[in-house]
Amino acid sequence: MPEEDGYAQELLVLQQILISSFVFITVVSRFYVKFVSRKKSRLHRRGVRHNDSERINDQISHLHRIIEVGDIQCVVNLRMTRNVFARLCYLLTHVGGLVESRYVRVEEKVAMFLSILAHHKKNRIIGHDYRRSGHTVSSHFHEVLRCVLKLHPLLLVKPTPVEDNCSSETWKWFKGCLGALDGTYVSVQVPNKDKARYRTRKGTTALNVLGVCDRNMNFIYALTGWEGSAADARVLRDVITQEDGLKIPRGCYYLCDNGYANVEGFLTPYRRTRYHLNDWTIGATGPQNYKEYFNSKHCRARNVIERAFGLLKRRWAVLRSPTFYSLQVQNRMILACMLLHNFIRSEMPEDPLEEVDEASNCNTENIEEDFIDNIESSPSWELWRDDLAMSMYNS
């Protein structure tokens, strides 16, 4: 009997040990399954794949579809042909200082940067398309942006005046004209405390960007950073007074609208006189006097800056709606879009986004280094405009 009691006690202890072990194993297995499932879901949300070779193949195939399949796909996605894209990568590498990282090629960096500007895509969307993390996309975007801005000595165009032997019907009346200038609004996101300063007369928060272009819609000068509430004349005064601002040689001028003063270096139309192009469309009466005739010719020539802004915003969707970058980065993005605009127009003879191109066929030469340093009105400049208008009307 004592031996049987001992066996029973041993069996009872063994049974308790087995039950405890089973409970322990069950708890550990459930914890492990829950931990692994959480880790997988977290990695899935981050867009991380377990198969690195599959991820690399997806990256290569996506970049191949954009820049190596054909020019049509490259223009649709990056706004330039494959040849122009290769030249841009070469300039950014040898002039801008863009280098290839350990896992990302230069071509992929530039392609991600152009995709953001052309289609206004967020980092997560670009990261999903190119199989990259948001941090990788953001860091390479700012790297390429800095390199593009370093190309401004090469991409900004030097203006040349209209010569006496110019045969263009649009520009032959404006001897000595360098181009046209105007301001445009670019919508931006600003903190709530600064919205009053950046609110425009149309009720939106935007930057007042001053752009100057030549007769071929290439940008000569650009100034960003002014609030949307600033007047165009105030922005122009700041441009003239800056040490590295817009330089206008004596005897030359730019065409601008009535938002600016008619002073030396800036030729404006007559006020309180028909000016817009639709005033002389089919069915309307033509110019009745020398002032209307001058305004008609002036508007047709100055329209080049409007077309340049329209083409710029049509090409880069990031300029058509506000972004979530800081103001400093948004100003740099505007300048980068203008520089890339000049580069595309110089490298692509046929721009698919351009509807009408009224390129001038004038002869040009270097201009003297005697610049205008003020924008004060003078009777002599008003008299010169009257003489120019009368000569147009009489001829």
For 288-306, the pLDDT digits (tens) are: 888 888 988 999 999 999 9
Do 182 and 266 share a domain, yes or no? yes
Sole residue written with tokens 């599959």: 54
pLDDT for 383: 82
Do 144 and 170 share a domain, yes or no? no
Do 59 and 133 share a domain, yes or no? yes
Do 128 and 64 share a domain, yes or no? yes
Do 122 and 270 share a domain, yes or no? no
Boundaries of domain holding 136: 52-150
Do 226 and 364 share a domain, yes or no? yes
Taken in order 274, 219, 78, 317, the sign of the CA dihedral is negative
107 vs 105: CA distance, rounded Å: 5
Do 183 and 327 share a domain, yes or no? yes
Do 124 and 207 share a domain, yes or no? no
> What's phi and psi for 212, nearest 5 deg?
-125, 130
Final residue belonging to a domain, choices 150, 173, 204? 150
47 assigned to some structural domain: no
For residue 326, the Cα-to-chain-centroid distance in whole angstroms is 15
For the chain, what is the mean pLDDT? 82
pLDDT for 50: 45
280 assigned to some structural domain: yes
pTM for this one? 0.79
Q: Residue 272, by phi and psi: left (phi above 0), alpha (psi -120 to 50) or beta?
A: left
Final residue belonging to a domain, choices 150, 174, 194? 150
pLDDT for 275: 78
339 assigned to some structural domain: yes
Do 263 and 134 share a domain, yes or no? no
135 assigned to some structural domain: yes
4 assigned to some structural domain: no
pLDDT for 261: 87
377 assigned to some structural domain: yes
206 vs 203: CA distance, rounded Å: 9
pLDDT for 130: 85
pLDDT for 375: 65
pLDDT for 207: 93
63, 89 Cβ separation under 8 angstroms: no
Final residue belonging to a domain, choices 150, 183, 205? 150
pLDDT for 370: 53
**For the chain, what is the domain count?**
2
pLDDT for 8: 65
Do 96 and 180 share a domain, yes or no? no
Do 165 and 303 share a domain, yes or no? yes
178 assigned to some structural domain: yes
168 assigned to some structural domain: yes
Do 83 and 121 share a domain, yes or no? yes
Q: Which residues of the chain have pLDDT under 70?
A: 1-15, 18-19, 21-24, 27-62, 280-284, 355-377
